[in-house]
Structure 1
């Protein structure tokens, strides 16, 4: 009898183990399988939250089939303690495993609301925008100019949220003075700026920042990035360039940056200046003259006068025979590489062509013809503008 009971007990134990193994395999399959989410969502994980609360939230939003399996899977992978606070974009059909990886890997939030402090050539602005999970595109909620416009309430509210992401977006071609002034105007930051960084020494890019970050440390980050980019460009430079130092390459790149807003033209514009330097010709570029007038402190806001084009200054490339003494802006990576590897062209002239780009020429005769076409375009535009003004724009 006891032998029969023992035999049955062993049988039941074996069956139980098989059932348990089957349940585990089933649960693992559920954990790894595509999830039920049909449309992307932005998952908010509050500070101090836990996997149980996150799993319940996901189940409520129909992003996981079982909150319990989600929690047990995270525990099995020993990731429960790695949960990060923030806003996370959960893609359609994301598996529980993928969601756990998303909320535990760290780094910046991947969705939700962000504040972007934009440092542009013509203005600085603060933009509050929110990612629409359905389209993966940001929707603007507010934009204003610090120090000029009234601060909108949505900015104050967004800034106070724990999961808000903050970025500084520095455009190519801004001056170091503009960057320093913009950082001073950002109320999120702290600390003083002892001096304006050397012109050209800051890398245009997007920089993640947090409340209380030191302004001087942010400038140090920007300078380190530019130093690395310049070193890479100098290392990759074509042989025979008419520049002898990385600083001269940086000066050339800054002129290329200010001369064209068309990315595809950078190498051609660089080739014009390289050819001019190789032939002993003056660069004759307006942006250097403008920099000599403004010292990089804002935009000129008007056309150059003939007297300014004739006046001898260290930055007037219509008068001096070579590069100006310093960069005239902070060039981006593309302009650095264009200066290091210009196009193999014989162009020595260029002028606006009416499309936002330039017409290039090898001879003065070709250039004069291009100039004549540009002046005709200007005259036609002037006549059209005058006609619109006289008719009220109708």
Structure 2
């Protein structure tokens, strides 16, 4: 979707200094130290010396924490489609950081509303060792300690736990296991739980990303009932739920532009159909389109204010985006209907996206007792003026719990009616 946005801008003849907008992708490894990603960016700036006017990404909060201060130092706007840690909302520390994905503060709020609806007040929390994982723990512990009690917590570091998983789960006074980890780490955590024979009807596994393990037959019979909550954009695909306000015309144009096409690097950009596009792909398009919209408006002011241009230096920290005052003003005032929903940024203490926070609860269940798949069962929309906004059930879709029951389980362990 990144390349699709660039190609669409060129199709619309949006130009900078009378030149077409071009792009490049810097591959970073999120498993490496954030300094490695910053070093790659510096190498690109000092060797390629292109007219850089913005950065789309990165896809992790940890990497964003390293790159965002540098971007601010050289006056470059950075719009992330996946970095959700709440610390990045600090405009004093990260003045040129924006994001089209909702922050973890909204995710935590959605989780709290869901727990309240299920009458759950406790959980065991397993979180990954990253800014994302620590941030989730801090939000729930500090902002929502009156709503939920974390009975036990366990840190997962790539391939190992910092305490005994079995002992932690078995001694915890909560059946609800909340996994605050990305998709890959969630998958690793559940695999470890399976290996230790801890996947059972005794626990309700609740993750913030669906694990990518459905192709493995050995897991299928054990994972029914797993819950996952994910952000989403575009068409909700459900007639019973309030339709999302998104730009279908812009989405159609992006899809049409990508058909049988290549970008300036010869990379195939065919997107397929709308149903194949993930929410994060939509956030990526809108992040790119945010920069393009601001550049376009700046170019219209070209007579009174020159377009921004990047002054590159052999020492990357001496580089700077010049003539960018108007450009940054337009970024702060961004307001358009994107393919993931309305795009607008806070005018107060952060550059976070306001509105447009939608989450879906997915439930792993069998289709015709043969095919295991994630089914959307509930949806939630952030309503700023409604503090008690509930999750809405999707018609004809019901949660199937690990024991095959359709009744909401208790969050505390029981044996034959005895409460621990």
In the superposition, the TM-score normalised over structure 1's length comes to 0.28
Q: Per residue, is there more helix in 1 or in 2? A: 1
Higher relative contact order (CA 8 A, sep 6+): 2
* Larger Rg belongs to: 1
In the superposition, the TM-score normalised over structure 2's length comes to 0.27
